[in-house]
Amino acid sequence: MSKKVTIFTLLPLIFSMLVFIGSESLYSVIFVLITILPYFCFNIYLDITKKSIQSRRVRGLSAYIGLIIMSLYSLYPAIIKISPLMTSLIFLIVGLGAFKYRELIAEILFSGKKRYTKYRAIYWIYAAILLLLGGGGYYPTTKNVIEKLGENSDVYFSTIFFLFSLWFLVFAQGSIPKFTKFKE
């Protein structure tokens, strides 16, 4: 498999296993299998037929699907721990809004125009703040948060996953105009 196809195939797979590890629910395992296996097979097919090398649109579509899957996986803990209706509703509203304004989001995120610099900075600072609030991968920080919050720590981390889910969703919708305008 080519390097790019492997990365975009394995990122959601690894992310899904990290999110759903230790889940007692059979539904979460089925959810992972239903979403990741077709995606994995799609990327293998693209690589075997060399379509991913021939078409930048197909590679963009593959990346878009991967971001949407990662967004759904990030949403799952919030649905379980917070409110299923509220989190799903907010996710749909943000998704529809991002889809409607995808041209503007793509221009803000991917263009080098100076007038969008502050909006681009806000978008990336949002992700950095979420990483810091989540402990940034530094185990002792996460351990301290769990000790201080006790039983409420799962809601805290579910909220961070939910906000990352929205971040992935906006990025995915903003990438649509980028890969649909490629010339073959």
Domains of the chain, residue spans: 3-180
C-beta of residue 130 within 8 angstroms of C-beta of residue 164? yes
18-57 tens-digit pLDDT: 666 655 666 666 777 777 778 777 877 877 787 766 677 7
SS3 call for 21: coil
Judge contact between 47 and 105, C-beta under 8 A: no
Per-residue model confidence as pLDDT tens digits over 131-180: 888 877 677 877 888 888 888 888 888 898 899 899 989 998 988 887 77
Q: Which two tokens stand for residue 20?
A: 């759903």
Task: Answer whether 0.85 is exceeded by the pTM.
Answer: no
Question: For residue 134, what is the DSSP state?
Answer: T
Q: Provide the 8-state DSSP code for 26.
A: H
